[in-house]
Chains A and B, each alone.
Chain A
């Protein structure tokens, strides 16, 4: 250690090192730098916190938007989209759907071109057994039933007197009596009884319907199932009207109601398209109506009436009445 001691070298190097620097000024400078560094750190942390909060808020907004919809479709497709005002009417409809899924597989209304059935009366539908069947046409078999039953209906329709009031009672117009009588508007009972071999369950519905009709009146007002039933929509043409629903699986034909003097000439009900054609019962009357409901993203409806301008005066009055009814609907 002492071997390295050299006063000359030490003095020389101390000269090169210079005088002592100003410690006070240097200390202030150091404290200022420390303060700036800490401020930068605080700003960085606060900026990171702000970014996290903003990103969290954006994520929440995006989640809420995804939950609300993304639904550009005009019709409600999800259960949460149903209007709260329609809860009272959808309670009965929901009950009928749940019960008929297990018991009835045929839609009676589609098979019946009766013109006297009220088109839009959900409350009355829930009270009568036949109308309960009207409300449920969700299974594919229901859509096939009308095509099978159109044959007999056409043969029984030659009479040109579609009197809605006389054909109202559905139970008194079985298929056996239809040839002699006027058009049987309601064939719910015949359909249920005519195919006993193919559908043994069809004979049992009376037993199941009785408990089914009572629950709508006794059920509590607030239940979650009603929101699952889509809204029943009506589209009216000169030759008649159609009631349908738009579900997540597609279009469901609920009811087809020809106008007085008209009958159904074509009935196609698919998931993405419903085509109903009405023709006049009269041989001299060439009026036709084609009603189409197409669902491709949005649901679009169209109505084509032919030869409605070349009607006689009496037919005009009838059609006016018909239009009024459809307008009421």
Chain B
């Protein structure tokens, strides 16, 4: 009995570890595009995997455990974004300027452009171009319809393409 329990625990740990090794980097990079901060994205993905560890018996029965982890991480980023916006507004009321700059100076323009995109367009573009997810997977992750995902992708692509073409003309 103990052997069986030990085996199941090790198997569970192996499954979570396997998921972590396979998807952690992709998730962090995608969320970095979404939130514009790699550390914040890493923290959100790690929190999501911690929850997955603690609720693995239930999550392992899902069709797409990674999709659950992704949704948890995105929600975490959104919560962090809300709290950050509140903090920035408070700082702004105190008279200080708020910097909306990415931590990577080389791509500040694109990052600034991304920060101007609506969050759904930004998330759809990040998952499609960075994580290489399908429209269906993006729709499940964002809990919207496929048509909505296509719309967000189209809008995001138009804006980014315009920015790239303007740079090429220069």
A residues with a Cβ closer than 8 A to B are 1, 3-4, 6, 8-10, 12-18, 20-21, 23, 26-27, 29-31, 33-34, 37-38
Contact = CB atoms under 8 A, between A and B. Distances in A.
Contacts of B114: 16
Interface in B120-170: 125-126, 128-130, 134-135, 150, 153-154, 157, 160-161, 164
A21 B24 CA distance: 8
8 nearest A-B residue pairs (beta carbon): A17-B29, A20-B25, A10-B129, A34-B53, A13-B129, A33-B50, A30-B49, A4-B153
Given A8-B164, A9-B160, A23 B111 contact: no
Contact of B157 (A9, A16, A21, A37): A9
22 contacts: A1-B135, A3-B154, A9-B164, A12-B160, A13-B33, A16-B110, A17-B33, A17-B126, A18-B29, A18-B38, A21-B25, A21-B28, A21-B29, A23-B25, A26-B24, A26-B46, A27-B17, A27-B21, A27-B24, A30-B49, A34-B54, A37-B50
A26 B17 CA distance: 11
Q: In the complex, which range does the number of interface residues on chain B fall in?
A: 35 or more
A16 B130 CA distance: 10
A8 to B, nearest CB: 5
Nearest to A27: B20
A17 B32 contact: yes
- Residue of A1, A21, A33 with highest tally of chain B CB at under 10 A: A21
Interface in B44-82: 45-47, 49-50, 53-54
Nearest to A7: B129
Contacts of B11: none
B41 to A, nearest CB: 9
Given A13-B126, A14-B130, A21-B28, 14 more contacts: A4-B154, A9-B129, A9-B157, A9-B164, A12-B107, A13-B110, A14-B129, A16-B104, A16-B114, A18-B38, A23-B21, A26-B45, A27-B20, A30-B53
Given A9-B164, A16-B104, A23-B25, A4 B111 contact: no
